[in-house]
Homo-oligomer: A and B are copies of this chain.
Amino acid sequence: MIGVFDSGLGGLTVVKELMKRLPGRGVVYFGDNARYPYGGKSGALITQYAIENTEFLRAQGAKVLVVACNTASAHAVAALRERFPDMPVYEVVGPALARAAAISEGRVGVIATTGTVESGVYERGMSSLRPEATVFSQACPLFVPLVEEGWVGKPETESIASTYLLPLHSQDIETLILGCTHYPFLRRTIAKIMGPHVRLIDPAIELVNELQRRLVADHAFDAMLTKHAGYRFHASDRTARFERIATEWLGTDVRLAEPSH
């Protein structure tokens, strides 16, 4: 089983990509909506939550971990690898950076939550991948609530997005990493503001590309993820809203499983 966690619903974008691209590989999902959102909280706290979530997923049979939340990827991945050395840990920051480094000449934009931006993880990652590249990052803290509350496509959202994206627009970037699982829902608005010359990178797609390459290349890894087609969903706050939105996004009937954490 592939264990996936996120602070809430956002990580389901990764699950959707896994369902489409790696059908037959089981997934157990944990949405930590009781403590959602992670974006503005401290690194120490997010690391503690990430460890608890991983312990839960391991107890549910997960052999490979996917951290589907950029804020947790930014803060907690080193601690998770140290704590669970037997478990391959995939996250959303590295694959998106690798893609940006591959397709750009050196001016890379990142939009993310306040927590992710303050961590400096994209700047550090890029400086080891391509030291001559420059990363321009911008926190967009209202994007998550705007998506969660269904304001995608509304003029207020477009206006708020313009305010957030203005500094990046003037930096002449070539690529823009959508550094939060919620942001692909605003892709059309963001693309319109940034213009056709800026290529948008969706970390969920890059992450699944990386997993897929490893499955082909590494037989032991492939064996770890025995073909087992189940999908199981857990949430720390078992709400009807979670089930309704997950069912809508994934196009399949989602019922939350016990236990909750």
Residues of A participating in the B interface, judged by any CB pair closer than 8 Å: 33-35, 40-42, 45, 141-142, 145-146, 148-149, 151, 155-156, 159-160, 163, 237-239, 241
Contacts and interface: CB of A to CB of B under 8 A. Distances in A.
The 9 A-B pairs with the shortest beta carbon distances in the complex, nearest first, are A145-B145, A156-B156, A45-B237, A156-B159, A141-B149, A156-B160, A42-B239, A41-B237, A35-B35
A230 B244 CA distance: 47
A40 B41 CA distance: 18
Contacts of A35: 34-35
Nearest to A157: B156
Contacts of A160: 151, 156
A42 B156 contact: no
Nearest to A238: B42
Given A35-B35, A41-B239, A159 B149 contact: no
A10 to B, nearest CB: 14
Contacts of A40: 148, 241
Contacts of A159: 155-156, 159
Contact of A45 (B34, B45, B142, B148): B34
